[in-house]
Amino acid sequence: MVETDKETTNSAFYFLREIKKSVFIEPTSDILEKYILNEKETFIIKPIISEAPTQNINGIETITIEKVLVDIFCDDVIFSTQQGEEIRMIFKNAFEKYTINQSKMLRYADRRRKKEELSQFIKTISNLWQH
């Protein structure tokens, strides 16, 4: 997945197509099922949400674990195979292996208009982990 400023989405699309890549801009679930799921190497381009949590590692701007978790939670089209029980395991493993900044995660979820749903989801799955 490639996330870029809204203004450069088309440029990224044409650049990747020029180098013979399978590229889609914000595909629908229908497009995903028909054209993407069976591809070996596919690029999905979408505009990055403003104020998305990123980090700079060795001079390269990349995403944080908080952004990954929120994106999986919020985008059930692109991350359709990571829903249901799979998403619970992803969150459980992430919380066990990494230090998750929940306020950063919920702030980003708020930008995606899913703060309350994510907060409730975390409470629900946290209760399951403790049993």
Residue 41 shares a structural domain with residue 90? no
Residue 4, SS3?
A: strand
Write out pLDDT tens, residues 6-27.
899 999 899 988 887 788 888 8
Residue 60 shares a structural domain with residue 101? yes
Last residue of a domain, one of 32, 48, 64: 48
Task: Quote the mean pLDDT of the chain.
Answer: 85
Starting at the edge strand found earlier in the chain, the sheet holding 22-25 runs: 2-4, 42-47, 22-25
Write out pLDDT tens, residues 71-91.
989 887 666 666 778 888 889
Residue 64 shares a structural domain with residue 128? yes
Counting the structural domains of the chain, the total is 2
Residue 41 shares a structural domain with residue 63? no
For residue 129, the model assigns a pLDDT of: 63
CA distance 25 to 51: 21
For residue 117, the model assigns a pLDDT of: 93
Residues of the domain holding 120: 55-131
